[in-house]
Amino acid sequence: MPTETTVFPDRAILHLDMDAFYASVEVLDDPSLKGKPVMVGGTPDGRGVVAAASYEARAFGVHSAMSAARAVKLCPDGIFLRGRMDRYSEISRRIFTLFEDYTPLVEPLSIDEAFLDVSGCRRLFGSAEKLGRTIKARVLEEVGLVVSVGVATNKFLAKLASDLDKPDGFVVIPPDEARTLLAGLPIRKLWGVGKVAEKQMHRFGIRKVGDLLAIPVERLTDQFGDHAAHLLELAIGFDERPVIPVHEAKSIGNETTFRDDIADADHLQAILDQLSAKVARRLRAHGFLTRTVTLKARYPDFTTHTRSATLAGPSDSSVDIRDTARNLLTSNLGRRGRPLRLIGVTASNLVHPGVGQGQLFPDPGRERDRKLDQILDQVHGKYGPMLRRGADRD
């Protein structure tokens, strides 16, 4: 089994995660909201879901991807706000521009989260820890928001570190301490171990990460299948994935793991539509078209299925991506009403506009969709992240 310290001893990775980003921006712009349970996204009178919740709202059990109707039951006095994506995007651009002052190796995970590989710039700016503290201080001083920072030798450990002391966290995991630290953590701290899997592992006698390493590989494989090998690598802190800047990306995707498994078809579709819209906006923001859309779905027993479809032509259309993802969910996945614990949408086989032969006579419907996407990208913030285009191709 590989060990992180022998494979990448000199790599330095930061994971930076804005605390409750959408809600924090709302508080930044309206200080009267400070200390109050703020929820951004859908409203209780609609079918939307919560996109972000302040830590005050989370204290009531509210979390992202929860239906707004459920959220208001948990937090009746909560403040529900329609999102302002134009404002969030503006703040995000300022933050990411700041990141790029220190390294070109910035891999966005979402509008409010990124990995930075700072291995090559420590002579100029100091140690990874010093860099992390410098960036954290600049974001607070220049933008007015709090970012949690994780510092480690790989992406898994850096992301784990940024989450260990939220909000306003700053955690460094030295390579020679990673395995000891991991051994004492609850098993749910490993990527891919959620609420249901945690219960399954508890039944198997695995409560902490160290318990996983004490069980023979053969028994783990019998119990958890191919997923066991990946879990064992994470348990020793091994992760060989590089930081990939967005301009080198081979795919753009978004996924979400549910705190509670979801079986309701309408709820799943609402979340899928939201993820599809995010992917389409990211494609347009970074100047890509996609040829392939992939649906990822994970069941409570950890079995994970992917279904892909090739588009008629390269596209960044929200409608194309949404409709393809919907069809994969309803017609290709074979869910048969079973609940899901994770769902995701990925656009791959990326090309830049202008690649390939254009159409001599453009489809008027597609031209309409393209113009509508442009308008929605500009005014999306007025209606929030839960804005839905409607079933114009249903």
Judge whether 198 counts as a catalytic residue. no
In angstroms, the CA 343 to CA 8 distance is 31
Is 245 in contact with 103 (CB distance < 8 Å)? no
The Cα–Cα gap between 167 and 161 comes to 12
For residue 266, the tally of other CB atoms under 10 A from its CB is: 9
Distance CA 149, CA 169 (A): 6
Q: Please tell me the distance from the alpha carbon of residue 333 to that of residue 276, in angstroms, as a whole number.
A: 17
Give the contacts of 24 (CB within 8 A, at least 6 positions apart). Answer: 18, 54, 145, 146
Q: Catalytic pick from 4, 26, 56, 113?
A: 113
How much is the CA Rg of the chain, to the nearest whole Å? 21
For strands 50-53 and 38-41, give the pairing: antiparallel
Beta bridge partners of 370: none
> What sign has the CA pseudo-torsion 110, 111, 112, 117?
positive
Closest by alpha carbon to 47, among 68, 74, 77? 68
Catalytic residues: 113
